Structure 1
Amino acid sequence: MSTFPEPLAALSRWYLYAIHGYFCEVMFTAAWEFVIHCNWKFPGVTSVWALLIYGTSILVIERMYLRLSGCCPMLLRCLIYTLWTYLWEFGTGLLLRQFNACPWDYSQFRYNFMGLITAEYALPWFCASFIVERLIICNTLRLRFDKVTDPAAVSRAPNAPEGRRANGYVKVD
């Protein structure tokens, strides 16, 4: 059995990406409501479908990042991620629409396509893809899971003097 922490499994990373996307969707809709209607309540909304949509999409972007980061400039990668986002948003929207479950409708935007995607969101999606790569994916890939079953046992370990413990785990410098 290895004593070194293991990288997070794909399902764990998917979960973190899903929660991140869900949170960002709520914050974006709250900010949009404030900008458009000056609503100081900041009512952010989304759909449970956003968990599946964002988690899966960012996991795919993670795979793209791992393949492209050594041979493709960052701005080009962000452009590729943005194009992927449009394809994914259109595809998932089209599928959800078949069940009357699509939570978004861009029909009121001038440059929309079938109400499922809109060119007006190109810059926000591009900026979001930059943030996803530089902050979310890079940091998530650095996370490690310690397979210790009882975190309290680590903090009580005889070889872990007081002050060398952090959040129940022994600090290793």
Structure 2
Amino acid sequence: MEYLNVLKELPGNFMKCGIAGWCLEVMFTSVESVLARDWRLMGRTSLLMFPIYGCGAFLSPALKLIDFWIGDQKVSLPEQLIRHGMIDMVLIFTAEYISGAWLRARGMCPWDYSASRASVNGLIRLDFAPLWFATGLLFEQITKKRSK
């Protein structure tokens, strides 16, 4: 029964994560424009990023499955946040790498991190780990079922 609820909530959560991801990316790239002394705060994203960010809707169900598999011993909230953030970060890096490779093979990848020393094949940046840690926890919160 729990899985039926997850499936029913998935389209709405996909939309929430897609929109939140777009907003985060526009804000992040606006900060980059300030660093380049462009005070217009010109943020940018790509339409292709919506479904990629939308896949953040799968993080909470994946974490529930992992917690069940681990046994989810009664851990404190800080320990759970660290564990979930680390798992989210790894899953996001994996999704970013796979989707970036797939898009690059078709000449459509909207990002290229090749200029960064922290880049892995120009597809992910390891120095973005704290951002993906926090983004995963944010996606987990915005997709959390609220009691009525």
What is the TM-score normalised by the length of structure 1? 0.69
Q: Which has the higher helix share?
A: 2
Q: Structure 2: how far apart are the matches of 1:132 and 1:23?
A: 13
What are the superposed Cα offsets for residues 150-169 of structure 1, whole Å, 9 maximum, x if unpaired?
xxxxxxxxxxxxxxxxxxxx
User: Residue 49 of structure 2 aligns with which residue?
Assistant: 50
User: Residue 10 of structure 1 aligns with which residue?
Assistant: 10
Deviation of the 1:51 alpha carbon: 0.6
Where do residues 60-79 of structure 1 align in structure 2 (5 Å cutoff)?
Answer: 60-68=58-66, 71=72, 73-79=80-86
Residues 1:50 and 1:106: Cα distance change in structure 2 (over 3 Å): same
Where do residues 85-164 of structure 1 align in structure 2 (5 Å cutoff)?
Answer: 85-133=92-140, 135-138=141-144, 141-142=145-146
Structure exhibiting the larger radius of gyration computed from Cα positions: 1
1:78 touches 1:130 (CA, 8 Å); kept in 2?
A: yes
What are the superposed Cα offsets for residues 113-157 of structure 1, whole Å, 9 maximum, x if unpaired?
110011111111112222222x3222xx2288xxxxxxxxxxxxx
Q: Which has the higher strand share?
A: 1
Give the counterpart letter for 1:67 in structure 2.
L
2:17 touches 2:139 (CA, 8 Å); kept in 1?
A: no
User: Residue 37 of structure 2 aligns with which residue?
Assistant: 38
Q: Percent identity?
A: 26
User: Structure 1: any 5+ residue segments left out of the alignment?
Assistant: 1-5, 145-173
User: Residue 84 of structure 1 aligns with which residue?
Assistant: 91
Deviation of the 1:91 alpha carbon: 0.1
**What secondary structure sits across from 1:142 in the alignment?**
coil
Give the superposed CA RMSD: 2.2
1:25 touches 1:45 (CA, 8 Å); kept in 2?
A: yes
**What secondary structure sits across from 2:98 in the alignment?**
helix
What is the TM-score normalised by the length of structure 2? 0.80
Give the counterpart letter for 1:59 in structure 2.
A
Give the counterpart letter for 2:19 in structure 1.
I
Q: Structure 2: how far apart are the matches of 1:108 and 1:95?
A: 20
